Amino acid sequence: MSDELSKPFTESSLSKEELMKMNRERRVQIITFAFMIFLTVLAFIAVGMEMIEPSFAIPFILLLAVVQFVLQLFYFMHLKDKDHQWPNAFMLTGIVVATPAVIALVLLLGVTKY
Amino acid sequence: MSDSVDVSKGLPSNPEKATLEGKNKFLGFWVFLGGETIMFATFFGTFLGLKEGTAAGPTADELFSLPLVFIMTMLLLTSSLTSVLAMFSMKKNNFKNMMILTAITVVLGLGFLGFEIYEFYEYLHHGLGYTTSAFASSFYTLVGLHGAHVVFGLSWFITLMIRYSRTGGITLTNAPKFYLASLYWHFIDVVWVFIFTVVYLMSIGGA
């Protein structure tokens, strides 16, 4: 069996339907990428143009970052696909711990003032 | 477990998870990424807490330049796409295409790294040493940690490419390795999304 594992294949076992599904997914990925580029440009414009109030621009670019975060994880890293329940659980655990950690650090360091 | 893999019709449709070893690597790597999320969160929190402490040294406003950060962002985002496309080639058993796309990813990553080194070098010239202020330390640590991840990711890709260039095809052994390297690269991009938003854009726009 170990021979089998390090042997290249001459062909792919993908059926026609699977191949079509994959090509469709690929198209979705490229659209996702274009959308992420758009969001990035939007964030840079929101700050670079200096026309938008910081009180609005900051939450706005943070929201854009969260959207990009979700797109990356679910599309590029395939978290939306099946057989990804555990990866979803792990990432969710990470986020659940990370969020209060950030908030606590900002508040505590803000109080002690370096 | 790996005995149950059907290889009679060619490369299985999900070669990275066809064997038990591949499944384990996949699961273990996601545990690692969950932990990495928390580690980066602590560095982000530290930076946010300390960014006002410039101690009469250069401030973020004086240093950061949007065009440079924009180019770096575009390089890393595009490399994330080529890495995704490389994984499609892998599933289609197109080894040559996968290697080319991975090589493009590496080139884009090296470009990013070059800009980052230039950036740090510039800041140093403007008087922002590592110990200049609380802002400087937390900035260099956070962005430098991300840069270290980029270096590691690039070395990972290059090692895989050199090691499997002679194999000349996708196997059930190397498919999980390429897949995980690609996941790692996406994660680096995810972290960068927050760095350019929280570190650069918020420092420039939030003043």
- DSSP string across A67-96: HHHHHIIIIIT-TTSTT-HHHHHHHHHHHH
Q: Which ipTM did the prediction report?
A: 0.90
Predicted local confidence at residue B1, as pLDDT:
47
pLDDT confidence of A113, banded at 50, 70, 90? Answer: low
Predicted local confidence at residue B3, as pLDDT:
53
DSSP B93: T
Q: How far is A8 from chain B (nearest CA, A)?
A: 5
Nearest CA in chain B to A36: B77
Secondary structure string (H, E, C) spanning B106-170 = HHHHHHHHHHHHHHHHHHHHCCCCCCCCHHHHHHHHHHHHHHHHHHHHHHHHHHHHHHHCCCCCC
Which chain A residues contact residue B18 at CB under 8 A?
Answer: none
Q: A72 near A36, Cβ under 8 Å? A: yes
pLDDT in tens, chain B (207 residues): 445 677 778 888 888 888 899 999 999 999 999 999 999 999 999 999 998 888 888 988 889 999 999 999 999 999 999 999 999 999 999 999 999 999 999 999 999 999 999 999 999 999 999 999 999 999 999 999 999 999 999 999 999 999 999 888 899 999 999 999 999 999 999 999 999 999 999 888 765
Torsional class of A113: left (φ above 0), alpha (ψ -120 to 50), beta (otherwise): left
Predicted local confidence at residue B48, as pLDDT:
92
Ordered domains of chain B (ranges, CATH): 28-40+62-205 (1.20.120.80)
Helices (H), chain A: 2-5, 16-48, 54-71, 85-112
What is the domain partition of chain A in residue ranges?
15-81, 82-114
Residue A75 backbone dihedrals phi, psi, to 5 degrees? -100, -60
- Per-residue burial over A79-101, b = 16 or more CB atoms within 10 Å of its CB, e = otherwise: beeeebeebeebbeebeeebeeb
Orientation of helix B95-125 relative to helix B134-164, angle to 10°: 160
Residue A12 backbone dihedrals phi, psi, to 5 degrees? -105, 145
Predicted local confidence at residue B11, as pLDDT:
86
Q: How many Cβ atoms from other residues are within 10 Å of residue B207's Cβ?
A: 9
**Who among A13, A25, A105 is closest to B42 (CB)?**
A105
Please name which of B160, B186, B176 lies closest in space to residue B77, comparing C-alpha atoms.
B186
Q: A77 near B206, Cβ under 8 Å? A: no
- Beta-bridge partners for A12: B11
Structure tokens belonging to residue A36: 């992420």
Q: How far is A102 from chain B (nearest CA, A)?
A: 4
Predicted local confidence at residue A56, as pLDDT:
87
Q: What is the pLDDT of residues A35-70, one digit of tens each?
A: 999 999 999 998 888 778 888 888 999 999 999 999
Q: Are A91 and B19 inside 8 Å of each other by CB? A: no
Q: What is the pLDDT of residues A83-99, one digit of tens each?
A: 899 999 999 999 999 99
Percentage of residues in chain A with pLDDT exceeding 90? 58
Structure tokens belonging to residue B137: 């330390």
Q: Are A108 and B170 inside 8 Å of each other by CB? A: no
Only one residue has tokens 């038990």, namely: B20
**Who among B30, B37, B66 is closest to A44 (CB)?**
B66
Residue A57 backbone dihedrals phi, psi, to 5 degrees? -65, -40
Only one residue has tokens 């928390």, namely: B38
Q: In whole angstroms, how large is the CA radius of gyration of chain A?
A: 21
- Beta-bridge partners for B11: A12
Which chain B residues contact residue A58 at CB under 8 A?
Answer: 202, 205-206
